[in-house]
Each structure stands twice: as structure tokens, then as C-alpha cells.
Amino acid sequence: MTPDLDDLRAAVRASHFIAALTGAGISAESGIPTFRGPGGLWRSFRPEELATPEAFQRDPHLVWEWYNWRRGIIRRAEPNPGHRALASLERLKGDGFRLITQNIDGLHDSAGSRHVAKLHGDIWRVRCTGCGSVTRHEEVPLRSVPPLCACGALLRPDVVWFGEPLPELEWREAVDAGRRAQLFLLIGTSAVVYPAAGLVELARSGGARVAVINPEATPLDHLAEWALRGPAGEILPQIVD
């Protein structure tokens, strides 16, 4: 055990309230490409170009092709030891732990996490652009692209695109967790997307100790007491008993 890991394990044991914010990096070891890492997402598009209401307005077929491609990969993906360690931490700490994710892949749920604040929505839910109805759509690929609602309007993935507000309830939960955190774990995220990344500052200003788990440096490393350079699938099982 390196000293860093030892005293982070001790902090995990001692903390009465731990918040964790995860990003695409925690699903990398499950075979899901991250947004900004090597082998990033789809063809020559950047997420900021496709994950927007304008892109959907302009070419719903292309945007749905992108999400179907991602759903196909996610469907075959399994949770990895990083997801499972966070599910164990929730069982250990009960209400003393809150998981917040930017991911839309649902792997935290399939790893057994019961209470996940999904800041950016869920790729397995679709929302009608007309009547607003939200349903789970598990089949891959979808029957028709772009899919239509019974009311005749276009269905969209029930995810948060750039320029769209985060879901009220999940964001309030995340802010509450950030405020209460004695220990804040920033896991597998490049910490460039706001307001999610702002939760780290919020936690720090509430006196939280911060640990970053990422093979690369992040712009928020200066806020961290621990910057553990490595894959979440290897590090998390070592800090959760």
C-alpha cells in the first residue's frame, strides 16, 4: 500500500458523508469509449457538435445514429470493479454516501448502486419532443430512426445536451451531497463540463477533503489532497474495504 492509499482508506472509513462524482473514465475499463480520451467518440464528430439541441434539430437521424451506436456498445458492456466498489461503498455507508454521475450508460445501476443522481440523463430513456412522455427504450437498434412517439412527434434520447439545463431534482441532490461531503471522490472525469465539475469547489468550500482518481491530470487536481494516477477499476477496490 502506498501511504497515499492508506490514508485515503482511513479517510473513507472515518467519513460520515462521502460524495462521489463519476465521468466517462469509470466506464472506460468496461469498453465504453470516453468523450475526450484517445479513441474518443464516433467518426469525426466531437460530442459538443452532436450532443446539442441544434444538432438534433438539424439532423435527428444522424444524432439518433450516434446514440444507437453508443447504445450498441453500452448494451454489451459489463460493470467493472470500479463500479462495483462504489456499489459496495454505498452498502457500507448507507445514507453516508451519495453517488453522482455524468454518465448516461446505466452501469452504476447494473453494478448494484441503488441511489444514483444522474446529472446528464439516461441513454436507455427516451422523451417525446411533443407530449413530453418519457419511456424506457431498451431495444437496439430502435425500430425506426429517428423514432416517433404514438402522438406522432419525434422521440429524443432523455439526456442533457450542451446548453440544456440539468434535471432539477438530480442537481439539487448533487448540490446537497457536495455541501455535506467530508470526503469528495472525483472519479474518471476530465472535469471540464459544468455545472457538474463545480461540485468539487462547492465541496471544498464546505470543508471537504478531495481525492481525484484518474490516470491523467485534471484542471481540479490543485483542489485535491490525493491525486491517484491510475485506473478507477484498480484503485477503487483498494480504498473500499
Residues that are catalytic: 120
Q: At how many degrees (to 10) do helices 232-239 and 81-93 cross?
A: 30
Indicate which single residue of 10, 192, 219, 241 sits in contact with ligand BV8 (rule: CB under 6 A).
Answer: 192
Measured between alpha carbons, how far is 69 from 204 in angstroms, rounded to an integer? 38
Indicate which single residue of 18, 89, 160, 177 sits in contact with ligand BV8 (rule: CB under 6 A).
Answer: 160
Say whether residue 32 binds ligand BV8 (CB under 6 A): no
Say whether residue 214 binds ligand BV8 (CB under 6 A): yes
Indicate which single residue of 69, 110, 162, 175 sits in contact with ligand BV8 (rule: CB under 6 A).
Answer: 162
Minimum distance from CB of 95 to ligand BV8 (Å)?
25
Q: What track of x and - describes contact with ligand BV8 for positions 46 through 75 (by CB under 6 A)?
A: -xx--x------------------------
Interface region with ligand BV8, contact rule CB under 6 A, candidates 5-13, 168-176, 192-200, 221-229: 192-200
Say whether residue 163 binds ligand BV8 (CB under 6 A): yes
Residues contacting residue 149 through CB under 8 Å, at least 6 positions apart: 128, 129, 130, 131, 133, 155
Say whether residue 27 binds ligand BV8 (CB under 6 A): no
Q: Is the alpha carbon torsion for 100, 31, 111, 232 positive or negative?
A: negative
Q: How many CA atoms lie within 13 A of 118 on its CB side?
A: 18
Reference 74, options 162, 154, 141, 126; nearest CA is 141
Ramachandran angles phi, psi of 121, nearest 5°? 90, -160
CB atoms within 10 A of CB 93: 17
Q: HEC states along 74-115?
A: HHHCCCCHHHHHHHHHHHHHHHHEEEEECCCCCHHHHCCCCC
Q: Out of ligand BV8, Zn ion, none, which partner does residue 130 contact, by CB within 5 to 8 A per kind?
A: Zn ion
DSSP SS3 for 212: strand
Q: Out of ligand BV8, Zn ion, none, which partner does residue 71 contact, by CB within 5 to 8 A per kind?
A: none
Indicate which single residue of 11, 24, 128, 202 sits in contact with ligand BV8 (rule: CB under 6 A).
Answer: 24
Say whether residue 188 binds ligand BV8 (CB under 6 A): yes
Residue nearest to ligand BV8 (CB): 25
| C-alpha triplet 48, 51, 55: angle, nearest 5° | 95
Q: Out of ligand BV8, Zn ion, none, which partner does residue 51 contact, by CB within 5 to 8 A per kind?
A: ligand BV8
Biggest alpha carbon–alpha carbon distance for the chain:
60
Residues that bind ligand BV8 (CB under 6 A): 23-26, 28-29, 34-37, 47-48, 51, 102-104, 120, 159-165, 188-190, 192-195, 213-216, 218, 231-233
